């Protein structure tokens, strides 16, 4: 009998931050990625997306499915795909959602984690940062160049799938 494997988990905490200075992110050792993320039609409770990721001149494509377990944890299945499959999957786009365009600055932290700062095309005063963890209560520290407004891990409005539909514009 084949062994059943638990689905891979993505555990992350997410924070709203004041718009950081690009120079500070680069000085902190950030790797820079440009991301276009398009959400696909999916049954309730499942999130499906395709992502085009550019780092320098390198282009890569990914397909991801997520099922939320808690505000900080989701079952996540992701695989790299080729351009042909990416283009085909775009035909399943959820037309009620816009494509999210963002620049991600992946900053290595002193404690071994990576802080992923997402700067979105639609905001000029704020950005987000998330840190992937091994457990929901794992300790971590964010780079000192970031100015945290508040934690938004449990605020569904700030999940990327929600941002693709409606932008929260509450004051900082």
- Per-residue pLDDT tens over the stretch 79-88: 999 999 999 9
Residue 162 — pLDDT band, cuts 50, 70, 90?
Answer: very high
User: Mean pLDDT over all residues of the chain?
Assistant: 94
169 has a pLDDT exceeding 90: no
Count Cβ neighbours within 10 Å for each residue of 21-51 and write b for 16 or more, e otherwise: eeebbeebebebbebebbbbebeeeebbbbb
Read off the pLDDT of each residue in 23-41 and give the average, rounded to a whole number: 97
**What local confidence, expressed as pLDDT, does residue 6 receive?**
67
2 has a pLDDT exceeding 60: no
Residue 3 — pLDDT band, cuts 50, 70, 90?
Answer: low
Domains and CATH numbers, the chain: 9-163 (2.40.320.10)
- The predicted model scores a pTM of 0.92
1 has a pLDDT exceeding 60: no
- Per-residue pLDDT tens over the stretch 72-111: 999 999 999 999 999 999 999 999 999 999 999 999 998 9
**What local confidence, expressed as pLDDT, does residue 119 receive?**
98
115 has a pLDDT exceeding 90: yes
**What local confidence, expressed as pLDDT, does residue 171 receive?**
86
Query: What's the per-residue H, E or C state across the chain?
Result: CCCCCCCCEEEEEEEEEECCCHHHHHHCCCEEEEEEEEEECCCCCCEEEEEEEEECCEEEEEEEEEEECCCCEEEEEEEEECHHHHHHHHCCECCCCCCEEEEEEEEECCCCCEEEEEEECCCCCEEEEEEEECCCCCCCCCCCCCCEEEECCCCHHHCHHHHCCCCCCCCC
**Closest C-alpha to 98, from 120, 127, 76:** 120
- Is the pLDDT higher at 48 or at 6? 48
């Amino acid at each position: 009998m084949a062994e059943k494997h638990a689905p891979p988990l993505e555990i992350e905490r997410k924070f709203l931050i004041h718009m950081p200075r690009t120079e500070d992110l680069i000085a902190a050792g950030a790797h820079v990625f440009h991301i276009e993320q398009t959400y696909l039609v999916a049954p309730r409770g499942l999130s499906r997306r395709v992502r085009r990721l550019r780092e320098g001149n390198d282009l890569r494509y990914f397909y991801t499915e997520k099922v939320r377990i808690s505000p900080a944890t989701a079952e996540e299945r992701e695989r790299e795909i080729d351009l042909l499959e990416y283009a085909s999957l775009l035909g399943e786009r959820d037309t009620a959602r816009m494509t999210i365009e963002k620049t991600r600055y992946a900053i290595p932290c002193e404690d071994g984690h990576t802080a992923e700062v997402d700067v979105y095309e639609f905001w000029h005063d704020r950005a987000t940062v998330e840190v992937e963890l091994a457990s929901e209560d794992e300790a971590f520290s964010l780079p000192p160049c970031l100015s945290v407004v508040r934690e938004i891990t449990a605020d569904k409005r700030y999940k990327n799938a929600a941002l693709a539909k409606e932008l929260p514009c509450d004051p900082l």
